[in-house]
Chain A
Amino acid sequence: MSEELFPEPEWLSEEVKTGTTIIAVTFDGGVVLGSDSRVSAGESVVNRVMNKLSPLHDKIYCALSGSAADAQTIAEIVNYQLDVHSYLSPMSYDPLVCSAATLVKNISYKYKEELSAHLIVAGWDRKKGGQVYATLNGLLSRQPFAIGGSGSFYINGFVDAEYRKNMTKRESQEFVVNALTLAMGRDGSSGGVAYVVTIDKDGAEEKCVLGNELPKFFDE
């Protein structure tokens, strides 16, 4: 009787996706990563404050998008593999961003039929400074900046037009927050707050920009 009165909501059986917007940008001396905070299962938002920027190591983070379970699992596995790698390596310097990205790519490529997650790996290391790697579907591509997730379609034009090489840290952070805000304004699967992580030689600094602090654009 109670099952008829309260039928099981659809979202319980829908896959949980982080339909999302993620972005990572290099600047002179480091990288800035940004993400929104919405996790949806069908039409329902099951988590409105999820931090999709996951640490792989002290100065290497990854941004998650696609299936929430797949992305989180990849990030956890790579986090473990990087820990092992840095304990076992003869020098005790931090692992390279390229190594982290390659580990992510290896998993994404090997299980590409089963997984549906796109991670952007970004960080700072002593050898090459700030780097951003895209690992969509098992490719590995180093880029000056990368965007991903369902919301990224809407900001392709914006980032193409507004990105300039050699921005300062401040400008990069503003660029990331602007891009996220625009995407969250147009994509139903992105929203909530904006998480921003800035990584440079001194470490990683996490910041959360709340809804009312986001920049306002002309709203037609």
Chain B
Amino acid sequence: MFISQNFEMDSFSQNPEFTIHSFFTFLDTTIMAVEFEGGVVIGADSRTTTGAYIANRVTDKLTPIHERIFCCRSGSAADTQAIADAVTYQLGFHSIELDEAPLVQTAASLFREMCYRYREELMAGIIVAGWDPRRGGQVYTVPVGGMMTRQPVSVGGSGSSYIYGYVDSNYRAGMSKEECLKFTAEALTLAMERDGSSGGVVRLAVISEQGVERQVILGNQLPKFSTV
């Protein structure tokens, strides 16, 4: 009597998906971007995992694509680095041809082109945010699968599920830069507390006409929420 391996076993017991990824480096993470009048605020946690090991606890997931355009990376570290490098090159070339600053929408479209064309091979969730003279601060989200949409506030990564409720209830249109920074830092902190794949420090950046200001909020300086 023999029982065939693939006969009548429910799919759950055959190689659950997460075991396939266990030796790949992942940026399962929490990333966020918010538009305000005059620019955008972007933020991310700083953890990169390989299975249960934290390969890098001070990762910088906010990657410059151009002078005033950044992208927040989530998903596979290798895939997102490769895509970001390719888009940086393409955008740089495009900007030299035009002889002016590229639009944020152009950068987002380039990301979308690549993420959609190679959607079967890639695992990348990217938020593109920046400032351009034509439309001011903009946030575009290009999640896994390769769609692109503009949103006033966008969260991504594994930790984002936990803060949808918080973001929905606390976001208001017309917040100032300081309010957006506080909002982003608090949302990321809440996500980092609940998501095992997010943690470390909070990296923030403000992109506006004046340029880019970066800051880091260390573990002991994170906002405190009492749930006891």
Contact = CB atoms under 8 A, between A and B. Distances in A.
Interface of A: 144, 153-165, 178-179, 182-183, 185-186, 217-220
Contact of A218 (B163, B165, B171, B225): B171
Contact of A156 (B162, B171, B173): B162
A144 to B, nearest CB: 7
16 contacts: A154-B164, A156-B165, A157-B190, A158-B165, A158-B166, A160-B225, A161-B166, A162-B169, A179-B165, A182-B164, A182-B165, A182-B169, A218-B168, A218-B171, A218-B172, A220-B152
Nearest to B227: A160
A154 B162 contact: yes
B186 interface: yes
A185 B164 CA distance: 9
Contacts of B167: 157
Interface residues of B, number: 26
Given A178-B169, A218-B172, A220-B152, A186 B164 contact: yes
B214 interface: no
B227 A154 contact: no
B166 A153 contact: no
A182 B190 CA distance: 16
Given A178-B169, A218-B172, A161 B162 contact: no
Contacts, number: 71
Chain B interface mostly: helix
A156 to B, nearest CB: 4
Nearest to B192: A157
A163 B164 CA distance: 16
B153 interface: yes
B72 interface: no
Given A182-B168, A218-B172, A220-B171, A156 B228 contact: no
Given A144-B228, A218-B172, A160 B190 contact: yes
Contact of A161 (B151, B164, B190): B190
Given A155-B165, A182-B164, A185-B168, A220 B190 contact: no
Given A156-B194, A220-B152, A220-B153, A161 B225 contact: yes
Given A163-B227, A220-B151, A220-B152, A157 B172 contact: no
Given A154-B164, A178-B169, 12 more contacts: A153-B162, A154-B161, A156-B165, A157-B165, A157-B167, A157-B190, A160-B194, A162-B169, A182-B169, A183-B165, A219-B168, A220-B168
A153 B162 CA distance: 5
A220 B225 CA distance: 26
Contacts of B190: 156-157, 160-161
Interface string B183-210: 0001100110110000000000000000
A131 to B, nearest CB: 15
A161 B227 CA distance: 8
